[in-house]
Structure 1
Amino acid sequence: MQQLALQRYGPHTADTVVRWRELIDQLKPLPDIEKLARVNTFFNQLVRWRQDIDIWQQHDYWATPLETMARREGDCEDFSIAKYMTLLLAGVEVDKMRITYVKAQVGPDSNANQAHMVLAYYDSGSADPLILDNMITELRPASRRPDLKPVFSFNSQGLWVGTAAAPASKDPAARLSRWRELLQRMAADGLD
């Protein structure tokens, strides 16, 4: 991936990929909670939030971790995807993580909601998940994030609706075309 980063984006991105790979290697022996905190911090410090239309000239584009590291900017989906893939590579079990589409309450008006995406980590199947977010950098349990209302969540193994314990589908790529396209682009980036 470092060679690919150098060819596509130049030495600055290749150096970032080296730092990212070093982070992954350092994380492997650590407990999950430490992995979560360090990955959340890494991407929240590296990447500046911007809308897809400004970065990609598209209304909704899901960037690969390499694309996000190259641009050093992304929207909430890009943060969540990069954190998810990094934690997978660092040894966090896939069934403990879900990329979660939420309605986020913005401002003092409780009726003002916007689409947002976060990464949820479940220590056990029925646990209150920890939320990795680019807007609030502190890891917090979902019970301390009343501003977020889950709509659906997914990972490589399933798609869940709302806060359901059982997946509605075991093939998220069949229902989420952007996820399917992203998986293909990540494979081309060497992340399969």
Structure 2
Amino acid sequence: MKKTIIFICICVFSLFVFSQKIEDKLNNKKLLQLIENKYNKNGVNRYGSWLKLLENSQSASEWSQLNTVNMFFNEEIKYYEDIDFWNKKDYWASPIETIGRGGGDCEDYAIAKYFSLLALGFPEDKLRLMYVRQLTVDVPHMVLIYLENNDSPPLILDNYEHKILPATKRPDLKPIYSFNGHGLWLSKARGIGKKVRKQHGLKSWQDMIERIEVDINVSNGEIKIEE
């Protein structure tokens, strides 16, 4: 896991297949065929379950959406270290890779939840990926946080703890920094933290985006599979 504090430039709605009509972009025969060819039937089934989750959760409350997304990935995705699963020391999988292969590490859980909530219409400024220190096992860790409002502590979506809890109820986590497409924040105790100036993009994120763009080219509202 990267320890260097650097800004991740996230161009959410141009880099991934989410847009105004989720089903039009994601429930696409060519995309489904790509997933089936690249992974297996189980991967296709997980992808279909994810699609159904997004479609059925459109009108649900924010709390219900948070819990549904959090539990889906915690239950459907198995935890593996990158070196064992991807044969790489540090690999950030795209959401489709995570769903297709059915496994990943803490970054992959957090990233997949992040994009899923964006697809459901959550404002980007309420979501952040956060690096923490997991004090129980003394390892670096990534979680997704939801900033409901300025008067409440962030809510933690974590693959270790299935229940969504406020940061004040997670003494096992020591926050280091958080980030989204708007910037990077150095964490302060259990609060939101102080924003720092922008930095250059993170290679792990950029590599993930390139893999998405190789497989899926979103052009004029159509998904084109690269030959």
With normalisation by structure 1, the TM-score equals 0.88
Equivalence for 1:97: 127
Secondary structure of 2:184 counterpart: strand
In structure 2, C-alpha distance between the alignment counterparts of 1:176 and 1:151, rounded to whole Å: 17
- Pick the aligned partner of 2:158 from 121, 133, 139: 133
In structure 2, C-alpha distance between the alignment counterparts of 1:125 and 1:155, rounded to whole Å: 17
Residue 152 (structure 1) shift: 1.1
Q: What code does the residue aligned with 1:104 have?
A: Q
In structure 2, C-alpha distance between the alignment counterparts of 1:104 and 1:191, rounded to whole Å: 38
Q: What code does the residue aligned with 1:53 have?
A: I
In 2 relative to 1, CA 94–137 (structure 1 residues): closer, same or farther, beyond 3 Å? Answer: same
Equivalence for 1:159: 184
Secondary structure of 2:159 counterpart: coil
**Which of 1 and 2 has greater Rg?**
2
**In the alignment, is the contact (CA less than 8 A) between 1:125 and 1:165 conserved in 2?**
no
In structure 1, C-alpha distance between the alignment counterparts of 2:97 and 2:217, rounded to whole Å: 12
1:98-145 alpha-carbon deviations (Å, 9 max, x no partner): 0101011025xxxxx210000000012453111000001000000000
- Pick the aligned partner of 1:73 from 91, 103, 115: 103
- Size of the aligned set, in residue pairs, is 185
**In the alignment, is the contact (CA less than 8 A) between 1:39 and 1:83 conserved in 2?**
yes
Residue 2 (structure 1) shift: 2.2
Percent pairwise identity: 38
Q: What code does the residue aligned with 2:103 have?
A: E
Q: What code does the residue aligned with 1:178 have?
A: S
Which one has the bigger helix percentage? 1
- Give the alignment's Cα RMSD to 1 decimal: 2.0
Equivalence for 2:207: 181
1:38-78 alpha-carbon deviations (Å, 9 max, x no partner): 00100000011111010011111111111111221111001
**In the alignment, is the contact (CA less than 8 A) between 1:126 and 1:165 conserved in 2?**
no
Structure 2: unaligned runs, 5 residues or longer:
1-30, 219-227
Moved more, 181-190 or 34-43: 181-190
In 2 relative to 1, CA 189–26 (structure 1 residues): closer, same or farther, beyond 3 Å? Answer: farther
Residue 166 (structure 1) shift: 4.7
In structure 2, C-alpha distance between the alignment counterparts of 1:189 and 1:170, rounded to whole Å: 29
**In the alignment, is the contact (CA less than 8 A) between 1:102 and 1:148 conserved in 2?**
yes
**In the alignment, is the contact (CA less than 8 A) between 2:187 and 2:193 conserved in 1?**
no
Moved more, 140-149 or 13-22: 13-22
1:8-41 alpha-carbon deviations (Å, 9 max, x no partner): 1133222221211111111121121111100010
Equivalence for 1:87: 117
Q: What code does the residue aligned with 1:133 have?
A: D
Structure 1: unaligned runs, 5 residues or longer:
108-112
Residue 167 (structure 1) shift: 2.9
Equivalence for 2:46: 16
- Pick the aligned partner of 1:43 from 55, 73, 85: 73
Secondary structure of 1:167 counterpart: strand
Secondary structure of 2:176 counterpart: strand
Secondary structure of 1:20 counterpart: helix
Secondary structure of 2:149 counterpart: coil
Q: 1:19-38 to 2 correspondence within 5 Å?
A: 19-38=49-68
Equivalence for 1:149: 174
